[in-house]
Chains A and B, each alone.
Chain A
């Protein structure tokens, strides 16, 4: 019986919901947008059952703002959206980076720019996730190609958000979000769940909310508890008070970038398929990785040495890992559904960018194994 309760046949959006609940989600604010809406719908059902909060806000901006407010009272928080909504959230997302507020933003991608292709698949928001806000900062963005992994990376998104006090973006896509497949929900305790690091500074002792500890982490104090402090999107000193002192500005910006970029290897998640002796490497992520894996499996059966590197952490980009894995490849083929957003990162990473190629689709259709095979045969000089 117990096992049956743990097995579901669900959409990827529901897998994300289950992952969030497993991670201890307390508060969700959102605004309906295709193809992410099922996340809000299921949470509207699930959260009150657990005595937790769901609110449908008046717009995307308000949703992002509300989760930041709720995070500051000590809650694990999340919102969900898609491309145009993600654009609207960018200013408040930048605020969460600057004020170091843990939060998770699921972006189930659709085609763009603008309203684009609401009910069709795309992976066009890779760059928006990284560069959508103004100014310099770093960000964490994760992705997955199947529901078991969607569950796992959702839990991981909350863990990373709490560890690094930063927004974490879940870059899902329409196919993963809407496709149905099996999900086995792990037992409590099976996956690690990271709680918020709270300050141990006693009452009436000066608490510095923005003074990093030696390990770089910043213990928080919940709004409503004994430490009263200021949170602002302006550059701020260790008390959280606005400052334009060049030293303060420089130190804060450096901290915001370094806390993530210096930990790329801890944050980076990826999966490898047949990489041991691969002469040709496919790099992919999200639903396009499914086609890449399928194609590689078929080719392997015919004796071709093809491997797949599936990225689950897109930002910070795992540059060194990609460089190392691709060092001996004859060619690297990046498979994605945009005009080449990750391929640019891969070209930056490898020793010889001339051996990096792109297999893409930008018409709202899922890229197929045949599409990939066609590009690979051309690279191999074997004709189509």
Chain B
């Protein structure tokens, strides 16, 4: 813990405000949670490169006073891979929306996990494409309304945790914006973890998902996160297996991190030369 009191003003670019998010959008909570996590970890702002793609969530990188890279749709992890491998001492944090991370960016997601490169991927899951006006995402799930699903969705969704696990991520966790303190702790552990970390944070888009699916206002949508989720292994699951589990699912420190593995390649290559 650092001695200093947390003051968000130390971490944002006031010049870039006001932000573009709607009132009640969960992304602001993710932002403040993330900044608190960075503060409590005592990280130097010059150590952090925040890379994002395209969408409401991706604007987060511009608002923070770190090195920031606002890229193209779906490719944030690929840009971040170049940043991290070329300068491994940097902390790479990659906030993404659900479409950004897992539709157009799905390939980069599984390959970054496979490599186990030391990047923290945050999937801000609001089950919708907000910036383009409320189309369904690969995380919407069946039976949801969206502008491109007026008769409700028929597409299956991904389980981000299972996908990340299967692809080889060595840190996998889930939390929600309702559980902001818990989310902060999970983010701290994810950022601290050496290897590819995936932190899914359920967040609300009242403007499109909430309105289309009659989930009420922002506060009501956050209530749903409270009632529909439980800590990993909670007894409540026995009665209601449909509840979504929160917490840390994987924390593997054995598997070699990619940049460290590459250093070994350099060692081998240089020996071969001598």
B70 x A229 contact (CB < 8 A) = no
What per-residue 1/0 map shows which CB atoms of A198-233 lie under 8 Å from chain B?
Answer: 000000000000000000000000111110111111
Task: Identify which of B67, B86, B89, B273 contacts A49 (C-beta below 8 A).
Answer: B273
13 contacts between A and B (CB under 8 A): A48-B269, A51-B270, A67-B82, A69-B80, A73-B83, A223-B49, A224-B46, A228-B66, A229-B67, A233-B71, A234-B70, A241-B13, A241-B62
B262 x A53 contact (CB < 8 A) = yes
Total inter-chain residue pairs, C-beta < 8 Å: 137
Most chain-A Cβ atoms within 10 A of its Cβ — which of B82, B268, B273? B82
Given contacts A58-B108, A69-B86, contact A228 B45 (CB under 8 A): yes
Complex Cα–Cα for A109 and B141 (A) = 43
Any chain A CB within 8 A of the CB of B126? no
Any chain B CB within 8 A of the CB of A369? no
B70 x A61 contact (CB < 8 A) = no
Complex Cα–Cα for A224 and B45 (A) = 9
Any chain B CB within 8 A of the CB of A72? yes
Any chain A CB within 8 A of the CB of B218? no
B72 x A91 contact (CB < 8 A) = yes
Any chain A CB within 8 A of the CB of B87? yes
Task: Identify which of B45, B51, B65, B82 contacts A70 (C-beta below 8 A).
Answer: B82
Complex Cα–Cα for A68 and B80 (A) = 9
Given contacts A65-B79, A66-B78, contact A230 B87 (CB under 8 A): no
Given contacts A224-B46, A241-B62, contact A26 B86 (CB under 8 A): yes
Least CB separation from A221: chain B residue? B67
A95 x B68 contact (CB < 8 A) = no
Minimum CB–CB distance from B257 to chain A (whole Å) comes to 14
6 other contacts beyond A71-B82, A239-B15, with CB at 8 A cut-off? A58-B108, A66-B79, A223-B87, A223-B90, A228-B68, A232-B62
Complex Cα–Cα for A49 and B273 (A) = 7
Any chain B CB within 8 A of the CB of A242? yes
B78 x A61 contact (CB < 8 A) = yes
What per-residue 1/0 map shows which CB atoms of B46-79 lie under 8 Å from chain A?
Answer: 1101010000000001100111111110010011
Any chain A CB within 8 A of the CB of B213? no
Chain A interface, DSSP helix/strand/loop, else mixed: mixed
Least CB separation from B63: chain A residue? A230
Which residues of chain B have C-beta atoms less than 8 A from A65's C-beta? 71-72, 75, 78-79, 81-82
Least CB separation from B269: chain A residue? A48
What per-residue 1/0 map shows which CB atoms of B255-274 lie under 8 Å from chain A?
Answer: 00000001001101110110
Any chain A CB within 8 A of the CB of B151? no
Complex Cα–Cα for A62 and B104 (A) = 12
Given contacts A72-B83, A226-B46, A232-B62, contact A58 B111 (CB under 8 A): yes
Complex Cα–Cα for A229 and B61 (A) = 10
A68 x B46 contact (CB < 8 A) = no
Give me the interface of A with B, judged by CB distance under 8 Å. Answer: 26-27, 29, 45, 48-49, 51, 53, 55, 57-59, 61-63, 65-75, 77, 91-92, 95, 222-226, 228-234, 239, 241-242
Given contacts A73-B87, A73-B90, A224-B49, contact A231 B68 (CB under 8 A): yes
Complex Cα–Cα for A223 and B90 (A) = 9
Which residues of chain A have C-beta atoms less than 8 A from B80's C-beta? 69
Any chain A CB within 8 A of the CB of B243? no
B107 x A223 contact (CB < 8 A) = no
A62 x B111 contact (CB < 8 A) = yes
Task: Identify which of B45, B65, B67, B78 contacts A62 (C-beta below 8 A).
Answer: B78
Given contacts A69-B69, A95-B72, A241-B62, contact A53 B269 (CB under 8 A): no
Complex Cα–Cα for A74 and B89 (A) = 14
B86 x A53 contact (CB < 8 A) = yes
Least CB separation from B268: chain A residue? A48
Minimum CB–CB distance from A106 to chain B (whole Å) comes to 17
A224 x B90 contact (CB < 8 A) = yes
Which residues of chain A have C-beta atoms less than 8 A from B79's C-beta? 65-66, 68-69
Minimum CB–CB distance from B256 to chain A (whole Å) comes to 15
Minimum CB–CB distance from A61 to chain B (whole Å) comes to 6
Complex Cα–Cα for A53 and B51 (A) = 20
Which residues of chain B have C-beta atoms less than 8 A from A231's C-beta? 68-70
Any chain A CB within 8 A of the CB of B103? no
Which residues of chain B have C-beta atoms less than 8 A from A223's C-beta? 49, 67, 69, 83, 87, 90
B46 x A228 contact (CB < 8 A) = yes
B62 x A230 contact (CB < 8 A) = yes
B67 x A224 contact (CB < 8 A) = yes
Task: Identify which of A45, A66, A229, A233 contacts B81 (C-beta below 8 A).
Answer: A66
Any chain A CB within 8 A of the CB of B230? no
